[in-house]
Structures are given as C-alpha cells and as structure tokens.
Chains A and B, each alone.
Chain A
Amino acid sequence: MRNIFRPSEFRRPKDLHETSWILSSFEGRARVVAGGTELLVHKPLDVDCLVGLSKLDLDYIRNGRAGITIGAGTTLVKIEESEALSVEPYRILREATRLLATPTIRNTATIGGNICNASPAVDLPPALMVLDAKVIISGLEGTREIPIADFFEGVKKTVLSDDEFMVEVKIPAFPENTGASFQKLRHHQTSIDIAIVNAAARLSFAGDTVKEAKVAMGSVAATPIYSKKAEEILKGKILDVDIVKRAAEAASGEAKPIDDIRASAGYRKRMVTVLVERALEESARRCGK
C-alpha cells in the first residue's frame, strides 16, 4: 500500500443516484468531500476517489411548518448566521457552531461533514440530538431517514454503507415553552479547542411541569449519547435545584468516558455533572422558569 494520500480521481456527480453509483463503484475507496477540513488534513491513505457534492444543491436552510431542514452541504458559517436558527430552541445550533473551530474552518466546513466524521467529541450532534433531529441518507436504493442518535456506530463509524451519503438534517417544530442549551468545556483560556466534554439539554414545559426533557452529551463515549435516566428524572416534575442536580448526576453515571491526552475519565465524569446542570438551568431559564 502506498504511504501517501493521493486519490487519482475527483468526481462531481450531478444527481443523488450518480453519486451513490460512483461511491459504490469504488467499494469503500471513494470518499465524499465537502469542506475538506477533516479529510484533507488527515489525508487517509485508502482513498482512490474524492466525490464533491457541490452540484447537488445541498447548501440550504429551510424553515417550514413541520420544522427546519438543513442541507448536508450547508456551511457552518451559514448556520451560525441563520435567521431561521436564531429562535428558541434552535438557537443552540448557532451557539454550538460558534464554539466550533475557527472562522476560517467554519467558512468551509459543513454540517454533513461535522456529523459524518463521527468524532466522539463532535459538537453539533448532541445539540441536534436534543432537538430530535433526523438525518436523511441517500443510497442506490433510494433514501432513508433515521434519528441522528442512531446514525453513529462507534468512533469514526456510522451506519452509512459504501453507496450511501447524507443529504439532509431534519429538525421538527417544537411547542411554545421549550428551551434548550448547549455547553462545551475546553481547556482554560482557549477559544479554539475540541470539547473535553460537551452537553446539550432541551426542556419543554406544560405550565410549570416538565413535559419533555432531552439530555445529550459528547466526548464521554464512543458516540454522542442520550442520558435516558436524566430524562426520566426530569419528566413530569416541577424543576428545583435538587432535581436538576439528580438529573445531572444520573447523566454523569451514564457517561462512559475514557482517559486520553485531553482529560482523564474521572474528570470528564465530574464535568458531565457540571455541564448538564448548567444546560438544564439555562434551558429552564430560556423559557422563563
């Protein structure tokens, strides 16, 4: 095997089917390239063909009655500046984006790339998870739609098969009285850093009671995960300091982080408690609770 990154082909298919056909014809040795901020930095050796999706018109944010759809090729800067995403609870996408990488990278990196890269420390998926987002995947046999949490199978692993690629992210509409929050912990003083831990929360209230709660966290397992126990603790309750604390501790209990050069597992577990607590408090504050 050669020891340098040297794809021999660059293709720009005109439609979804052609894209899948090219991808499948290379049997795993073709890679979709969007912003290129991951692929062209890591330069994987096993790539023979790069497939650019710029002709597929996947760069859009649409606001409809059923919610919001975002094309997989939408750049992060577009999300960061989107009017449609400036309202509760969607605005956590803008906030998570702003905490991600540098302006230069956000100008070219895309939401599809951020998701498909399947890094355990990735920022947008926990935010999308609490917003109940689904991803639309296109392949030789047509398209399929799956909840974003089910998209990830492991570190750098997704459900995509050789012929498949992501085309869209769909976020539903939410009732009034919904608030969300995204929290990211970096190393001190640094404004550009991968998350040591991140966490997102969404609370929908009926009166003073929590009707629905979602808590997700990243950098604490092979994939971003939900904290089901936190959600159970919160659901149907009137929030107080104690419940928030219990939920945060439950989330920490479900986190399965590892020791690595960025932080120890023990520190990460403690930080899940802090971040989830802050996310829940902010979510509640954002709908006036």
Chain B
Amino acid sequence: MTDKLSVVGKSVTRFDAVDKVTGKAKYGIDLKVEGMLYGKILRSPYPHARVIKIDTRRAENHPRVRAVTTINDVPKITGAIGHLMTQEGRDHLYLHDNIVRFIGDPIAAVAADDLEAAQDALSLIHVEYEELPAVFDPVEAMKDGAPVIHTEDNNIAFHVLKEIGELDQGLEETDHVFEERYYTSKQKHATMEPTSSCVADYSQNGRLSVYSSTQRPHVSKLYLAKAFDLPVSKVRIIKPYTGGAFGGRDYLIHGLEIMCTSLSMKSGSPVKISFTREEDFIATEARHPFIIDLRFGVTDDGILKAMEMKCVMDVGGYGAHAAGVMTNALTKGVLIYKCPNITFEGHSVYTNKALCGAYRGYGNPQINFAIESLMDQIAEKLGIDAVELRLKNYRGLNELDPLSGQRIESDGMTECIEKAAEKFDWIGREKRKVANGTKRTGTGMCCLIHHSGGRFAIPDPAAATVMFNSDGSVNLVTAAADEGQGNRTVLAQIAAETLGLDYEQVSISSEPDTDMTPFDSGTHGSRQTYAGGIAVKRAAEKAKDKLLDLAAQHLEARKDDLRIGDGFIFHVDNPSINILVSDLLTALQFEDLSKGIQVMGTSTGVAPAVPTIYGANFAEVEVDMATGEVRILKFVCAFDVGKAINPAHVEGQIIGGEVTGMGYALTEGLITKDGKIMNPNFGDYRMLRACDVPKIDAIIVESPEPSGPFGAKGVGEATNAGTAAVIANAIYDAVGVRIEDLPLSQEKILHSL
C-alpha cells in the first residue's frame, strides 16, 4: 500500500452519470417489455381478518383482463434461505395463508391490457372476510391473552438475551445509575422511485425472468425458485437502474414478485406491477419502532461499568428482519463502548400494523438515539465534557469484540471526534450561545459505530470476474447491486488500480443479471465496497497473475521481474524487454492458434472480517421557545471509512444519510391509527427537502482497515445512525428539555418547555 495510487482515492465520474442526468437510464418504473400486461393488487381493508371466500368471476369476465390470481393460488413460502431466521426457524412470510395481518396486505391481483382495466377489475373482486381481533401496540401484543397474529402461542417473533460480564455486580460497583426510556418512530425510506416495480415473464422457454429493482438479485432468485418449485437455474433476475433502496428492496417485496409471477404464469404474458406512492407508504417495509429501556452505571470519573438495554421492537404483521434488526441493534449497543458488564435483551413483536423491515442503519439509529441521549445526560450530571466522556469509553483499536471474538484492527474514532470538534469549534460553543427574543441556540455531539458487512451473522459471499480483452481493456463482472450510491463505479476503480489500468479501461455493465454473474449476497450492511471490493481485488489479482505468467513465458523472463505500466509489460531492470499488453493478449487469444486463451480471474468467497466504521456528529440548533420550532444552524460530521475509494461518493453517502437522519430526528414518521397509516403521501409525511437542509460539513477520516481493499471499509449505513441523538442533545442544550420520543416534533418540545 506504499505504492502511489492512481485511480483509488480519486473522485472519478461514475460510469452511469450521463445516462442518469440526461434521463436515458431506465429504472424499474420505466420498464416495458413486448406484449406486457399491467397488474394491480387488491389489498385488505382490515388489519386482521380471515379471508373466507374470494370471488373473482366478475373480474375474470372483464373484457380486458387476462389473468386473476389470489392468495389461495400463489405459493406459500415459509422456509428460510440462508440468513437469520425467526426464533422458530421461519423466514419472511410471503402471502403464506388465508389470514391478512395488516391494512394493505395483498389478497388478489389482476393482469389486464392496460392499467385502467386492471384498476377497474379490482372493484369487481368480491372478498368475504371474517374480522379477527387486532392488536396494534407491541407491549399489549406481548401480554397473555392478546390476539395471536401468527400460528404460535404468542406474538414474539424473535427474542434475544445477551449477557456479558455481571450486570448486577457492575451496577453495584458504580457511583451513579442512570435510567431512561426511549421511543422511536416508524420512518419510511420514501425513495425517489417508489419502492416496487417489477416485470415477471414466464412466457418463454419455461424460464422465469424477473426484472426487479432488488438489492439482492441472487437471493431473490433463490426465493422465487423455491416458491415456484423451479430449478434455481431456470430463474433469472435482471436488475434495472434503481431510484434508491436504503434497505427497502432487501429480499422480495411483500406480494410483489410472487403475485406478478403468478399472473405471468396464468396469462402466459409478461406482467408488470408498479406500486403507487401510496402503496409504497402503506404496504412496503419501514423502520421498526423501538421502545428502549436503558440503565447505565458509571463511576465518578465517567467510566461505564454497567449497561443494561431492553428493547421491544414492533415488527408489524410479518416478521421481516425481526431477528436481523434486533441483532444489529444488539451489536451496535454492545460494541460502541468497552463496558465490562452488559446485558441486552430484545423482543421483536408482531402487531397488526404495516410491515417493518430493513432501513439504512438497521436498528442502529434506534439504539444510538437512546444510548447517545443518555450519555449526554451522564456527561452533564458528572460535569464531564461530552467529547471527553465518549473518548474515555469507546471501544477502539486492539479491543476485543466480545461478540465475534475478533480484534478491532482499525480505529478512527478519536480522529473523527477531534477533527469534527475542531471544524465545529466545540471549544467556542458556549460563547456562541444566543438568546434572541424567543429564540435560543444550543449545541450537541454524539458518536457512533457501524460495521461493514454481515460476515459473522449471515452467509455473506461475494464474487467477481475480471476478463482481459485483446486490446488490454477489462470487463468486470459482478452481481453487486447499485441502488444509486455508485458502488459499481467504485468496484471498477478497485479493479483498475489493482491491474495498473486507467479507470476508463475497465468497463462494468450498468446493472447485474443473475444469468451473467456469480452469486453475491447483495447490497446491504455497507458491504459492497468492503466485501465486494475484496472479491474484485482478488479476481483482478488472479487475472494479473495469469497475465504475468503468460508474459514471463513470452518474454522468457522471471515473472517477479515483470511490471505492468502505460500499456506495457516490461522487465523492471531492463525496460527494453517488453511487450504491449494488447499485443500479448491478441497473440494469446487469436494469433497463436494453439492457445486461444482469454486471460481472466474469478474470486468467490467471503470477506475475512466485519470492520468497525466510526463516526461523530456535531450540531448547532436554534429553538423557538414560542412555537417549539427547531432549525439546524450548523452540522459537522466525520466518518472513518478506512479509505475513500471515491471521495465524492463517500461525501454523497454521508450527506444523504445525515439528511434522512435529520428527518428521522425532527419531522418524519408514519402515523398509524387503528392499524391504518394516516399520512401515506409527501404532503403529510414530511421529509426534509434539499432547500430545508443546512450545509453539512462532511469530513472523511481514513484509518486503513488491513483486510479491506486498499484499506477501505463501508460507510452508507453509519451515516444516519447518530443524527437523531445529536439533534436531541443540541435541543437540550438550547432549551433544557429532553424529548425521549422520536420525532422531536415542535409540539412535543413546546409541551415540555
């Protein structure tokens, strides 16, 4: 790594930039396939009901309707495919029986010649329901006698208890015990392109092709093969450009691909289903709301001796990520501070509310909000500077991760905190405080960790193939799904750097197709730059090694003496011994009739670790004491990403993540009344828009990860984990009230003043 880098570390323009900004790029919602029908889904108006009878005859007789399918016709998936399961070994439940469990749960779908006819036909389907008692509050749902939502005898989808050290002893040894309860909200991804569009095509050669904006093409392929009892080889997922995912397109979308495929099988035509924005809001996954009880024991000088964390998580009607999100809250909660005595208990609970699932941060924004709010309280009570308290306690370099048993190999936390504090002028914060009329300003900080990939929790393979063309250019083949963050550009940079090529000489297809790419577990958990990058680097090294082997034979030189540069392979001591790479490749592939070799390298496997990403946030806010309104005046954050392969992309990730974090802190959240989502539109679901957001200073810290490609780790999921806490802490500093209930609405603030 002492070599000078020429492609890595440069903000090269992403390969798809021109097509995207000129509108040429085709997203899922733009898809059109020859002979395609349009599908619409009929959804449950009840939060909990048994479907007694579905009469589809009138819809089938509609002159423009080509197929109708119902939950009685589609396959029921109850098995798990290779990732965390619920307690009882069940996996995501897609349309698994005749019970509907939330308002919006799919019941039937129609495919018609046009969208209007499909919409029309939905009103012709008659469904007979038997309403069942519903439960909406996770705490109520845990009680004996609560309506049972799934088949087991209670509503606990997942339970975990992790004990490290002796909590009681730790609490006894401390000088102070702090206790608090926190509530978090149900935030929606609200991607620019509504979450769900897919075209399923079972019309040709007995193969199922699904065009779907999934984060995990290969995993979707496994699910669909299993659901429809097809050989895995007969299912093909093609991923178009995606207008944002943030976890919302992890695995299959509830009802979408399954219904769409069933309609294609019945009609013999390709079928497209696109959810409307309202459907996106009511019937696709959102961030799990948590209730978090914390009890921390601290010594007089601010050393954490005991941490107790109890979480109840509302998973909605189905158990998507019931285990994953809770486990991730656990790892972040347990690993952020090097406390010797920690107990974490989590219950993931079914309710008759809309789906919850993966959303950027994946349990971390919830637990971090609680922990970092309480840490702020501790700092104030003990009279210790908030920055100092974090620096004293965080789990850093060479500390053992008690969960995976791995040692921490890279640690940029101190640098993150110090650089951001300096840029923010943390020292001068008291002098800046302003009280003007009804306005008060205040400052706050928090820190956070996240991890790169899921190596120790889920099967997490990555794969790549690097193929040299005869002119010396390279094609990179990988199933890494790019949802807009630019990871395929980053992977091409890693390949180019490894091979000593210019970025322009490496080409990558716009989006993956499972027929053409080896298995990759998908884009999630901030893993593509790290885990995907390792696969690409290994594949490129193999291809390079092979090329040098062949060059050594050709030049009759020792391989170790050969170097690649400026399009040549040359002898390091005697550069006159050389050959143009393109000449060599052409000879190997075409001119030497006895060879016919394409030089290429493939790598499959897993990343060796799950490196810690560190981050720190600093915010200054102004609160209007008359209205409770908050305005963020200044925001500085720093993230340790190991190595920024493409600094502009990293900055984009940080700013984008922080903006969603600001919404999470202040304005966002689905409002549910008796199971019905009351704000399924952008008028009532308030995201912060570009014009609402203050300048965000994003500082990139590079503490190289030895196992990462060129030292890189992940970044995306870390970026919104601490935003709610930092804003809550700044509000407290400004007006002396602490709201433990997200979002920190102006009404709650005013009420507490």
Which A residues, 257 to 289, have Cβ-Cβ distances below 8 Å to chain B?
Answer: 261-264, 267, 270-271, 274
Instruction: Tell me the nearest residue of chain A to B691, going by C-beta.
Output: A191
Given contacts A3-B123, A6-B116, contact A188 B689 (CB under 8 A): no
Q: Does B684 contact A (CB under 8 A)?
A: yes
Which B residues, 665 to 723, have Cβ-Cβ distances below 8 Å to chain A?
Answer: 666-667, 671, 678-679, 683-684, 686, 688-689, 691-693
Which B residues, 339 to 398, have Cβ-Cβ distances below 8 Å to chain A?
Answer: none
Given contacts A3-B122, A3-B123, A274-B626, contact A189 B684 (CB under 8 A): no
Which residue from B122, B626, B684, B750 sits with its C-beta under 8 Å from A261? B684
- A-chain residues with CB within 8 Å of residue B6 when the two chains form the complex: none
Q: Does B245 contact A (CB under 8 A)?
A: no
Q: Does A187 contact B (CB under 8 A)?
A: yes
Given contacts A262-B684, A263-B747, contact A189 B666 (CB under 8 A): yes
- B-chain residues with CB within 8 Å of residue A261 when the two chains form the complex: 671, 678-679, 684
Q: Does B662 contact A (CB under 8 A)?
A: yes
Q: Does A192 contact B (CB under 8 A)?
A: yes
Contact, CB under 8 Å: B750 / A270: yes
Which residue from A185, A192, A264 sits with its C-beta under 8 Å from B689? A192
- Report the count of interface residues on B (CB-CB < 8 A): 31
Minimum CB–CB distance for A44 against chain B, Å: 15
Contact, CB under 8 Å: A190 / B688: yes
A interface footprint on B464-478 (CB within 8 Å = 1, 0 otherwise): 000000000000000
Q: Which of A188, A192, A270 has the most chain B CB atoms inside 10 A of its CB?
A: A188
Contact, CB under 8 Å: A274 / B627: yes
Q: Does A88 contact B (CB under 8 A)?
A: no
Minimum CB–CB distance for B248 against chain A, Å: 22
B interface footprint on A175-187 (CB within 8 Å = 1, 0 otherwise): 0000000000101
Q: Does B630 contact A (CB under 8 A)?
A: yes
Which A residues, 74 to 118, have Cβ-Cβ distances below 8 Å to chain B?
Answer: none
Which residue from A4, A193, A194, A271 sits with its C-beta under 8 Å from B119? A4
Contact, CB under 8 Å: B119 / A189: no
A interface footprint on B627-658 (CB within 8 Å = 1, 0 otherwise): 11111100000000000000000000000000
Instruction: Tell me the nearest residue of chain B to A278, going by C-beta.
Output: B626
Instruction: Tell me the nearest residue of chain B to A271, going by C-beta.
Output: B627
Q: Which of B122, B631, B692 has the most chain A CB atoms inside 10 A of its CB?
A: B692
Q: Which of A6, A190, A262, A263 has the most chain B CB atoms inside 10 A of its CB?
A: A190
Contact, CB under 8 Å: B666 / A188: yes
Which residue from A2, A188, A192, A193 sits with its C-beta under 8 Å from B630? A188
Given contacts A4-B119, A261-B684, contact A190 B667 (CB under 8 A): yes
Instruction: Tell me the nearest residue of chain B to A267, going by C-beta.
Output: B747
Which A residues, 144 to 201, have Cβ-Cβ distances below 8 Å to chain B?
Answer: 185, 187-194
Instruction: Tell me the nearest residue of chain A to B687, going by C-beta.
Output: A190
Minimum CB–CB distance for B720 against chain A, Å: 16
Question: With A and B bound together, what is the CA distance between A274 and B691 in angstroms?
Answer: 25
Question: With A and B bound together, what is the CA distance between A262 and B683 in angstroms?
Answer: 10
Contact, CB under 8 Å: B120 / A2: yes
Question: With A and B bound together, what is the CA distance between A189 and B619 in angstroms?
Answer: 14
- A-chain residues with CB within 8 Å of residue B629 when the two chains form the complex: 185, 188-189
Instruction: Tell me the nearest residue of chain B to A268, going by C-beta.
Output: B747
Given contacts A190-B688, A274-B626, contact A264 B123 (CB under 8 A): no
Given contacts A261-B679, A261-B684, contact A191 B692 (CB under 8 A): yes
Question: With A and B bound together, what is the CA distance between A194 and B122 in angstroms?
Answer: 33
Size range of the interface on A? 20 to 34
- B-chain residues with CB within 8 Å of residue A191 when the two chains form the complex: 689, 691-692
- A-chain residues with CB within 8 Å of residue B632 when the two chains form the complex: 189
Minimum CB–CB distance for B550 against chain A, Å: 59
Given contacts A261-B684, A267-B750, A270-B750, contact A189 B667 (CB under 8 A): yes
Interface of A is mostly: loop
Which B residues, 379 to 432, have Cβ-Cβ distances below 8 Å to chain A?
Answer: none
Instruction: Tell me the nearest residue of chain A to B632, going by C-beta.
Output: A189
Which B residues, 98 to 135, have Cβ-Cβ distances below 8 Å to chain A?
Answer: 116, 119-120, 122-123
Q: Does B72 contact A (CB under 8 A)?
A: no
Which A residues, 1 to 52, have Cβ-Cβ distances below 8 Å to chain B?
Answer: 2-4, 6
- B-chain residues with CB within 8 Å of residue A4 when the two chains form the complex: 116, 119-120
- A-chain residues with CB within 8 Å of residue B628 when the two chains form the complex: 188
Which residue from B630, B679, B683 sits with its C-beta under 8 Å from A189? B630
Question: With A and B bound together, what is the CA distance between A270 and B123 in angstroms?
Answer: 45
Instruction: Tell me the nearest residue of chain A to B629, going by C-beta.
Output: A188
Question: With A and B bound together, what is the CA distance between A119 and B629 in angstroms?
Answer: 24
Contact, CB under 8 Å: B631 / A188: yes
- A-chain residues with CB within 8 Å of residue B631 when the two chains form the complex: 188-189
Q: Does B578 contact A (CB under 8 A)?
A: no
- B-chain residues with CB within 8 Å of residue A187 when the two chains form the complex: 666-667, 686, 745-746
Contact, CB under 8 Å: B666 / A185: no
Minimum CB–CB distance for A286 against chain B, Å: 18
- B-chain residues with CB within 8 Å of residue A262 when the two chains form the complex: 684
Minimum CB–CB distance for A186 against chain B, Å: 8
Given contacts A261-B678, A263-B747, A270-B750, contact A189 B122 (CB under 8 A): no
Minimum CB–CB distance for A161 against chain B, Å: 29
Question: With A and B bound together, what is the CA distance between A187 and B679 in angstroms?
Answer: 14
Question: With A and B bound together, what is the CA distance between A271 and B750 in angstroms?
Answer: 10
- A-chain residues with CB within 8 Å of residue B667 when the two chains form the complex: 187-190
Question: With A and B bound together, what is the CA distance between A4 and B123 in angstroms?
Answer: 10
Contact, CB under 8 Å: A189 / B692: yes
Question: With A and B bound together, what is the CA distance between A76 and B357 in angstroms?
Answer: 41
Instruction: Tell me the nearest residue of chain A to B747, going by C-beta.
Output: A267
- A-chain residues with CB within 8 Å of residue B751 when the two chains form the complex: 267
Question: With A and B bound together, what is the CA distance between A47 and B627 in angstroms?
Answer: 41
Question: With A and B bound together, what is the CA distance between A6 and B630 in angstroms?
Answer: 43
Question: With A and B bound together, what is the CA distance between A187 and B666 in angstroms?
Answer: 9
A interface footprint on B596-627 (CB within 8 Å = 1, 0 otherwise): 00000000000000000000000000000011
- A-chain residues with CB within 8 Å of residue B116 when the two chains form the complex: 4, 6
Contact, CB under 8 Å: A3 / B120: yes
- B-chain residues with CB within 8 Å of residue A270 when the two chains form the complex: 750
- A-chain residues with CB within 8 Å of residue B679 when the two chains form the complex: 261
Minimum CB–CB distance for A277 against chain B, Å: 9
Minimum CB–CB distance for A24 against chain B, Å: 29
Question: With A and B bound together, what is the CA distance between A261 and B667 in angstroms?
Answer: 12
Minimum CB–CB distance for B495 against chain A, Å: 42
Question: With A and B bound together, what is the CA distance between A264 and B122 in angstroms?
Answer: 36
Minimum CB–CB distance for B58 against chain A, Å: 13
Question: With A and B bound together, what is the CA distance between A267 and B745 in angstroms?
Answer: 11
Minimum CB–CB distance for B730 against chain A, Å: 13
Contact, CB under 8 Å: A188 / B120: no
Contact, CB under 8 Å: B627 / A189: no
Question: With A and B bound together, what is the CA distance between A4 and B746 in angstroms?
Answer: 38
Question: With A and B bound together, what is the CA distance between A273 and B626 in angstroms?
Answer: 10
Question: With A and B bound together, what is the CA distance between A196 and B217 in angstroms?
Answer: 44
Question: With A and B bound together, what is the CA distance between A185 and B684 in angstroms?
Answer: 15
Minimum CB–CB distance for B680 against chain A, Å: 11
Extra contacts besides A4-B119, A189-B629, A192-B689 (10): CB < 8 Å: A187-B666, A189-B630, A189-B662, A190-B688, A190-B689, A194-B683, A261-B671, A261-B679, A267-B750, A274-B626
7 contacts between A and B (CB under 8 A): A3-B120, A3-B123, A185-B629, A187-B745, A188-B667, A192-B689, A274-B627
Q: Nearest 4 CB-CB pairs, A to B?
A: A3-B123, A267-B747, A188-B630, A188-B629
